Structure 1
Amino acid sequence: MDRVVESRALSMRTKIAIGGAVLLALALLFYFFAPSAGSQTIGADRVKISQVTRGAFEDFIPLRARVTPLVTVYLDAIEGGRVEQVLVEDGASVVKGQPLAILSNAELQLSVLARQTEVTQQLNSMRSQELALAQTRVANERAVLEAETAARKAQRQYSREAALAERGFVAAKTFADTRDEYDYQRRRVAVLRQGQATDERLQASQLAQLRASADSLESSLALARANLDALNLRAPVTGQLSGFSIELGQSLSPGERIGQIDSPGRNKLVAGVDEFYLGRVEPGQRAVIDWGGKRYQAKVAKIYPQVQNGQFQVDLQFIGAEPADIQRGQTLQARLTLGDPAPATLIPNGAFYNETGGNWVFVVTPDGSSAVKRQVRLGRRNAEMIEVLEGLDPGERVITSPYTGFADKDRLDLTE
């Protein structure tokens, strides 16, 4: 006989329960094994891991310094003109006052001659005025002398007639005339002396003005002659001539730059320093230059605080002897010392600093499986090491290679 076979299929409720359990298991697996949004997996061979150490921090910065003459004097054509002769060649050693070239300027020469003639005429006119004043002074002195002589004669005549008039031997009219003549001569002498004094004061003032005008004209004439002499170009200092490339027949404009003279055997170094050190570089700080197996000392002589392309310029001046075989434009390696060595916690300098600004680093866990972002405080740095002020202990390891591509993560999973 046929019988009914019972079905053993799972019920719908059971199927739903099993499906939910599977989904929950998958979600848990994904939660534990899938990378989080704040982490990233990266190969350990793609990053550079350095150890935090304890040691002496040497506060220096390396510099690429360019050799430049210590003193440079530029040559300009004071007066324009046509080049008639070139007496020296570019690169020659010259001494102060040595002729370099001769120019010609017909217009300037005619102008100087006209000025010289005008000044000469004015000087002659003033000398004539001085002569006239001197003659007037002599005439005044002669008139006073004549008046004094006449007054003395009148006095003697008055004295003689006074005694005779008392006895009645001289007529009253005659004696009165003699007395009047004596009074006139006395008053005449007084008036002439007063006029002479007034003339002396006026003449002294006028002579002072004439002499001042004469000095001014002489200075003007000397300046005109100096302008004419400026057509003969001379070396203002002793040194090596460079950039001197004028040609015969060339026309030069007033003030045109025609070359320069560099101080012989004396050089300085010009170096660019990262703007990060602008507040720490000071005049007088020492630098060391290794060249030709010898070490030379230099100091910061001048700081140019203008920042261009992230750098500012400093001048380094040699202390004592300088290398004998260096040439202008040559580049030397220098180490500028900013402070004395001091014990500190250190990490190697790396490209990570440019991306973090020294505010945080990735610290590798003791087992080396991951690296975690940590806030730190870094201090001074040189080309090799960075001083750690807070956040790291000796023996820990940090990633010092660039953080490009994962700088926004909080944790890195390191794989072999």
Structure 2
Amino acid sequence: MDTKRTPQPKPVIKRYWYLPVISLIVLAIYLSKQFLGDASYFVARDKLQMANVKQGDFKIEVRGSGVLKPKSLQWSAAQSRGRVQQLLAKPGDSVVQGQKIAVLENVELLSELEKIQWELKAIKAENNAAAVAQQAQQLDLENAVMEAEFNYKSSKLKLDAEQSLLDQGKGSLSALDFKRTQLAVTQQYARWQAQIKRADKMQQNYQASELARQARLEQVENNLRKAQQQVSGLTITAGISGIVQKLPIELGQQLNNGENAALVIDPGSLFAEINVQEIQVKDVVMGQPVTIDTRFNKLSGEVQRISPLSENGLVAVEVGIISELPKEARSDLNIDGYIEVTNIKNTLYVKRPAFAPKNRTVDLFKTTNDGAFAQKYEVKLGTSTAKYIQILSGLNPGDQIIISDTSAWASHSSVKIQ
């Protein structure tokens, strides 16, 4: 006879085996939610660049690179042909106007100067001798005129006396003697007048000779001055006070007349010339403030001139320096210039993100307070500079955004930063 078996109930663990599995799944989902949030993409923190939104005055600047240049400069050139014999200054030396920088040598010029000096001495001696001789001749002529006048007047007195005797009917004067006396008076008068004319001609001749001698003397003196100037031109001097910027000559070098030998600049007259892109120069006007960065100091300046020409897409802007010049300031020093074209008061701005054009609405990733996640927000941008961009809406002061390239995960609305 068969015995009836009573079925044993299944253990609880077998009957509800799925409950732990479900619990683990729920726990995993919970933990995952706590860890991942709504993020659907992971990014490495060390590959991200962050920036905080700031509030304040937002300066719109146009940037340009350039150099410092002197307004006051002068090349000193060789005024005569010669070989460099002495160099009395070096680049970087301070000089005053008229100070010697170099001395040239030219034996031919020195010989020519000496020759003209001797020629001038000889001409002066000759002119002096000729003047003495003419003065002696003039004295002889003056004596001859006086003697002829005396003879005439003596003859005239005799004629007058004989005429008086004849008029009174006294004496035994014959008519023949009277006629002879009249003839003698006429002859003496003619001789007197001839001597006067001869003296006048001699005076004219003396004056003409004197003019010729003076002209010859002036010609030689002019040649002497030219020779002295040429010899003086062998000394190269500073045209202005300042610093020797360039000295492109060396000992023994042959220089031609007019060849540049030394450039002297006034370091106190430095200004900045910066090159601005032609698409940005439209915002630049006269008088705008400028910050000049020398890499060691920042100087203040203002726009003084804008070139009307564009070269290779760049426009030269001349900036006057207002600040005191620092020690490193020198001609041709590379600098950066930042021209302030606009200053927006009390606005939001942030360091410019990658691929964030001005006056556009873009998607930017803002980090959470704990920095573990970044979520996408629609942000309206305003005007911009090379480094910063204005925030019109979508962010608040203190918000932190990702400014590095986010194009690889731009389709995700939230990312996990790890």
Asked if Structure 1 and Structure 2 have the same fold, meaning a TM-score greater than 0.5 normalized by the shorter chain, the answer is: yes
Q: CA deviation at 1:306?
A: 5.7
Map of 1:79 onto structure 2 = 80
Sort the Cα spacing of 1:74 and 1:145 in 2 relative to 1 into closer, same or farther, 3 A: same
Cα distance in 1 for partners of 2:187, 2:280 equals 96
Q: CA deviation at 1:214?
A: 1.8
Structure 1 residue 95 corresponds to structure 2 residue 96: yes
Cα distance in 2 for partners of 1:298, 1:204 equals 70
In structure 1, what residue type is equivalent to 2:110? Q
Cα distance in 2 for partners of 1:143, 1:298 equals 89
Map of 1:323 onto structure 2 = 325
Sort the Cα spacing of 1:310 and 1:219 in 2 relative to 1 into closer, same or farther, 3 A: farther
Structure 1 residue 214 corresponds to structure 2 residue 212: no
Map of 2:183 onto structure 1 = 180
Which of 297, 304, 309 is matched with 1:300 structurally? 304
**Residue pair 2:119, 2:220 contacting (<8 A) in 1 also:** no
SS in 2 for 1:309: coil
1:15-26 aligned within 5 A: none
Cα distance in 1 for partners of 2:331, 2:212 equals 56
- From the CA coordinates, give the structure whose radius of gyration is larger: 2
Q: CA deviation at 1:332?
A: 4.3
Sort the Cα spacing of 1:223 and 1:281 in 2 relative to 1 into closer, same or farther, 3 A: farther
In structure 1, what residue type is equivalent to 2:325? P
Map of 1:164 onto structure 2 = 165
Q: Deviations over 1:185-230 (max 9, x none)?
A: 3333334334444444454344334323322321211221222233
In structure 2, what residue type is equivalent to 1:309? N
Q: CA deviation at 1:60?
A: 8.8
Q: Percent identity?
A: 22
1:274-353 aligned within 5 A: 288-289=290-291, 296-298=300-302, 300=304, 307-311=310-314, 313=316, 315-318=318-321, 322-325=324-327, 326-334=329-337
1:360-399 aligned within 5 A: none
Map of 2:155 onto structure 1 = 154
After TM superposition, the score normalised by the length of structure 2 is: 0.55
Sort the Cα spacing of 1:167 and 1:268 in 2 relative to 1 into closer, same or farther, 3 A: same
Q: CA deviation at 1:131?
A: 4.2
Cα distance in 1 for partners of 2:203, 2:176 equals 40
Map of 1:192 onto structure 2 = 195
Sort the Cα spacing of 1:280 and 1:142 in 2 relative to 1 into closer, same or farther, 3 A: farther
**Residue pair 2:267, 2:331 contacting (<8 A) in 1 also:** no
**Residue pair 1:299, 1:318 contacting (<8 A) in 2 also:** no
Q: Deviations over 1:93-138 (max 9, x none)?
A: 1223323333322233233333433444444444444444444444
SS in 2 for 1:186: helix
**Residue pair 1:75, 1:257 contacting (<8 A) in 2 also:** yes
Cα distance in 2 for partners of 1:145, 1:59 equals 103
Cα distance in 2 for partners of 1:246, 1:212 equals 42
Map of 1:27 onto structure 2 = none
SS in 1 for 2:102: strand
**Residue pair 2:63, 2:336 contacting (<8 A) in 1 also:** yes
Sort the Cα spacing of 1:156 and 1:312 in 2 relative to 1 into closer, same or farther, 3 A: farther
Cα distance in 1 for partners of 2:233, 2:301 equals 42
1:395-406 aligned within 5 A: none
Query: Which residues of structure 1 form unaligned runs of 5+?
Result: 1-57, 342-361, 365-380, 385-394, 396-414
Sort the Cα spacing of 1:194 and 1:275 in 2 relative to 1 into closer, same or farther, 3 A: farther
Q: CA deviation at 1:231?
A: 2.6
1:96-111 aligned within 5 A: 96-111=97-112
Map of 1:390 onto structure 2 = none
**Residue pair 2:75, 2:239 contacting (<8 A) in 1 also:** no
Which of 248, 256, 260 is matched with 1:257 structurally? 260
Structure 1 residue 269 corresponds to structure 2 residue 272: yes
- Aligned residues between the structures: 298
Map of 1:412 onto structure 2 = none
1:105-120 aligned within 5 A: 105-120=106-121
Q: CA deviation at 1:163?
A: 1.1
**Residue pair 1:65, 1:271 contacting (<8 A) in 2 also:** yes
Structure 1 residue 240 corresponds to structure 2 residue 243: yes
Query: Which residues of structure 2 form unaligned runs of 5+?
Result: 1-58, 344-358, 362-382, 387-392, 394-410, 413-418
**Residue pair 2:149, 2:192 contacting (<8 A) in 1 also:** yes
Q: Deviations over 1:24-60 (max 9, x none)?
A: xxxxxxxxxxxxxxxxxxxxxxxxxxxxxxxxxx999
In structure 2, what residue type is equivalent to 1:300? Q
Cα distance in 2 for partners of 1:134, 1:312 equals 78
SS in 1 for 2:167: helix
After TM superposition, the score normalised by the length of structure 1 is: 0.55
RMSD: 4.6
